[in-house]
Amino acid sequence: MLERFYPDYEAISVYKIDYEKLYRQGFRGIIFDIDNTLVPHGAPASRQAVRLFRSLKAIGFDTVLLSNNKEPRVKPFSDQVKSRYIFKAGKPGKEGYEKAMKMMGTDSATTVFVGDQLFTDVWGAKKAGIRTYLVRPIHPREEIQIVLKRKLEKIVLYFYHRRKKS
């Protein structure tokens, strides 16, 4: 039952993923969450984020930012990293993920999703059949509803890690 929330991969940071390896494995599109995945909640794009997206483009990836936030939050970030975006995405519904794949011309076999939350990011991507990377949240400051979800995530991750060991 909890397996629907299990990520396919984990990374300490979005900036520590081996994207060249993913490209060699046949992935061509990456869908990213923004807040607490690429930057702290509400922060503008950092130099590190801009460099990441520049290097992804050089490797050959297409990208889409997928956020439940409103456009005034998502568009300026998108403009800074030069990526397309979907705002008010309705995660964990699969429609936003499917729309992102259509924008990139990829499918579930050639797309990977990177985010920091199990119950929105990972679950939604898995419903769309996309491989998932769960990264650690960048900053501990979060909205109250996310803080509450983090407590439940710890339980799910406990069973996930226990299963991985066996």
Convert the pLDDT of each residue in 82-136 to its tens digit. Answer: 999 999 999 999 999 999 999 999 999 999 999 999 989 999 999 999 999 999 9
What pLDDT sits at residue 141? 66
User: Alpha helix (H) ranges present in the chain?
Assistant: 19-24, 47-59, 71-81, 95-104, 123-127, 144-165
For residues 100 and 66, the answer to whether their CB atoms sit within 8 Å is: yes
Residue with the bigger pLDDT between 136 and 152: it is 136
CB atoms within 10 A of CB 88: 12
**Domains of the chain with bracketed CATH:** 2-165 (3.40.50.1000)
pLDDT at 67 over 90: yes
* 9 Cβ contact list (under 8 Å, min separation 6): 131, 132, 133, 134
Convert the pLDDT of each residue in 41-66 to its tens digit. Answer: 899 999 999 999 999 999 999 999 99
